[in-house]
Structure 1
Amino acid sequence: MIDNINKSDRRFHPEDTIISVGDLTIGGDNLTIIAGPCSVESEEQIIQIARSIKESGANILRGGAFKPRTSPYDFQGKKADGIKLLSLAKRETGLPIVSEIVGINHLDLFDDIDILQVGARNMQNFELLKELGKTDKPILLKRGFSNTIKELLLSAEYIMSNGNNKVILCERGIRTFEPMTRNTLDLSAVSLLKELTHLPVIVDPSHATGISSLVEPMSLASVACGANGLMIEVHNSPENALSDGEQAVTPEEFDNIVKKVNNIKNALK
């Protein structure tokens, strides 16, 4: 449990926080589905995927423009050009956008981005969190590779204590001794976070497992245990993706996942 009563604590704010992004509301009884490619690669790619996921029922388009990678030789994203392509996809489809910000000096480039994502590597980049707390944009905060639930909530506190209460928590798996999946998806964290905090909690089954065939069952399980939403990697040609193709589902597979998670959500009502 958290030692003191903080802004993220249900004892401070018993009701669920609802975050508005245009006409969309995140949190409470709403199920938000975020989808899109790991990396923005081209205009044709991002617009084609955006149109497809919207037709299937996605609420938000995700796409990486700045890509922090373990190896300096891996594709690092299209950066500012990637942001422009995301904006173009937004104008074409009307879908709001979430994309990862890796440095506060890039903030001016993100004017047209609706939700700023803090990736696992930056969960404890406290100077970045403090500066994002001074913005008015929703922040999607991913749990770090080996961070505890308490540490995740305290990272949220860095943002909230600086004035921004629009925080969305994301469970994306943690690093354990098990090598057969990319990470170990901690779904108990989702249920526990729902008890501890009023903030929306979503799950990223793509990064959690790293295996496309596991995305569907883990999506269903995530909704069943109370997640407010999902963040799913979708690529129109996963075998040719510039990053993380092995964990991306096709648009057809995504369409099937959306139908099934909505069935689970309806069954829980």
Structure 2
Amino acid sequence: MIIILKSGTPVEEITRISQELSDTWKVTVEKSVGTHKVVLGLIGDTTSIDKLQVQEFSPWIEQVLRVQQPFKRVSREFRHGEASEVVVPTPNGDVYFGEHHPIVVVAGPCSVENEAMIVETAKRVKAAGAKFLRGGAYKPRTSPYAFQGYGESALDLLAAAREATGLGIVTELMDAADLSAVARTADIIQIGARNMHNFSLLKKVGAQDKPVLLKRGMSATIDEWLMAAEYILASGNPNVILCERGIRTFDGKYARNTLDLSVLPVLRSLTHLPIMIDPSHGTGRSEYVPSMAMAAIAAGTDALMIEVHPNPAKALSDGPQSLTPDKFDRLVQEMSIIGKVVDRWSTPTFNSINDSRILFTPELSK
């Protein structure tokens, strides 16, 4: 249940209403401050609460509504239809994720392999316009014999790359035992597709304050994905970014996964959380990444995660879906065209119409 207060409601009245609601019905009351309204969310068993009784608590109450979705805090209704934003401090300044901000680009290799490789890649993706470096220290792999990542030593290499570039760091957490080590390095903690249903891990990252990037499970429905996000918010951490990375469908012959771009308008109607698209895992083929990245921008994504490796043929993991730095440079230029059209691009890479024509010349895009 949510209670929408009238514009200008005094702070002391908000406090009084919250306390009386909590005392009367033994519920938790959470305050959400929007641009024009203050919304109080009642968390707990609200089935027996009469909306008319709540309305009588104060003349400052404008409207009382029941949240129909099973995910309460994640629901867009919880913020009275307004989008939320996730603000991530980085050495280069605060970066904002949200539908009213420029698109954020996250780029880097699947795995951290050595210091020279990760630092050089970080410098290249930053020069192209990325705000965050992604790189795996701990890697969940289908085969127990595949490269699993270098663990904590790789976190030190990510820290060195941040020191050299000022980029924020996104890296995956697989085990709660590694949370403190990952949190010391990461500016955003990634929960991968395989752990989306690891509810004990979701509670752990929800109990700390670093932003969380929650990837959609390989066969997860949208409701299951949003309920996983609800675990994090219910544990106290409101800073969650949802990442669509492709789902498993019946046809895996031509692409690694099926990148579900339809989640963008669907999630916009259901949740206030920012949305990221990962076209690299979503397709598994580097040649498909540019078109899917640009399509995601046109469809309304808030962020993109793109794999970049200096030598994909020799990558220890996910080489076939990784772009070279040169191809990433060109992709960012192409993305800026679409980004400017939808008014979501902060620093255009080029300025003339002639440049945009050149970039889309078939001979140069091969």
Pick the TM interval, shorter chain: over 0.9
Contact 2:103 2:302 in 1 (8 A): yes
Residue number among 251, 264, 269 corresponding to 2:338 in the alignment: 264
Residue number among 248, 252, 266 corresponding to 1:175 in the alignment: 248
Tell me the distance in 2 between the aligned counterparts of 1:233 and 1:72. Answer: 23
For 1:21, the aligned partner's letter is V
Tell me the distance in 2 between the aligned counterparts of 1:255 and 1:58. Answer: 10
Aligned to 1:199: 273
For residues 136-147 of structure 1, the aligned pairs below 5 Å read 136-147=209-220
Are 1:21 and 2:93 matched, yes or no?
no
Long gaps (5+) in structure 1: none
Deviation at 1:195, TM superposition (A): 1.5
Tell me the distance in 2 between the aligned counterparts of 1:2 and 1:130. Answer: 23
For 1:6, the aligned partner's letter is K
Deviation at 1:25, TM superposition (A): 1.0
Tell me the distance in 2 between the aligned counterparts of 1:162 and 1:113. Answer: 20
Are 1:106 and 2:178 matched, yes or no?
yes
For residues 24-173 of structure 1, the aligned pairs below 5 Å read 24-28=95-99, 29-110=101-182, 111-173=184-246
Deviation at 1:21, TM superposition (A): 1.1
TM superposition outliers: structure 1 runs of 4+ over 4 Å: none
Deviation at 1:2, TM superposition (A): 6.5
Are 1:254 and 2:303 matched, yes or no?
no
* DSSP 3-state at the match of 2:272: coil
Aligned to 2:289: 215
Cα separation, partners in 2 of 1:5 and 1:233, compared to 1, 3 Å: closer
Are 1:236 and 2:302 matched, yes or no?
no
Task: Name the structure, 1 or 2, with higher relative contact order (CA <8 Å, separation 6+).
Answer: 1
For 2:230, the aligned partner's letter is E
Q: How big is each residue's C-alpha offset from its partner over 1:110-149, in whole Å with a ceiling of 9 and x where there is no partner?
A: 2121000000000000000011110000000000000001
Aligned to 2:258: 184
For 2:261, the aligned partner's letter is L
Tell me the distance in 1 between the aligned counterparts of 2:251 and 2:289. Answer: 18
Tell me the distance in 1 between the aligned counterparts of 2:213 and 2:258. Answer: 20
* DSSP 3-state at the match of 2:247: coil
Larger-gyration structure (1/2): 2
Aligned to 2:56: none
Contact 1:5 1:12 in 2 (8 A): no
- TM-score w.r.t. length of structure 1: 0.98
Q: How high is the sequence identity, in percent, across the aligned residues? A: 49
Tell me the distance in 1 between the aligned counterparts of 2:83 and 2:102. Answer: 11
- CA root-mean-square deviation: 1.1
Deviation at 1:63, TM superposition (A): 0.2
- How many positions carry a matched residue from both structures? 269
Long gaps (5+) in structure 2: 1-66, 344-366
Deviation at 1:68, TM superposition (A): 0.7
Deviation at 1:261, TM superposition (A): 1.4
Q: How big is each residue's C-alpha offset from its partner over 1:63-122, in whole Å with a ceiling of 9 and x where there is no partner?
A: 000001000000000100110000000000000100000011101212121000000000
Contact 1:234 1:250 in 2 (8 A): yes
Deviation at 1:3, TM superposition (A): 3.0
Contact 2:69 2:75 in 1 (8 A): no
Contact 1:2 1:150 in 2 (8 A): no
